[in-house]
Amino acid sequence: MLGKFLNSAYRIETANDGRYKLIGVVDGVSWTLIVESDMYTVVTVRQSHGGET
């Protein structure tokens, strides 16, 4: 799933505490990855909700 996500057209938004949200679609489902400011450390992955789609 991560490979498909990173090869998709995802967008980056700022989140709390210097983290970033990567929002993209894999197999028709919208996902949000929260990553640290180094853009390598994944904090959490969840299905997108609300205005994140």
Residues 16-32 pLDDT 10s: 889 999 999 999 999 99
Residues 32-51 pLDDT 10s: 999 999 999 999 999 999 88
- pLDDT at residue 43, rounded to an integer: 94
Residue 19: both structure tokens together = 């983290």
11: which residues sit within 8 A by CB, 6+ positions away?
22, 23, 24
Q: Are 23 and 13 in contact (CB under 8 A)?
A: yes
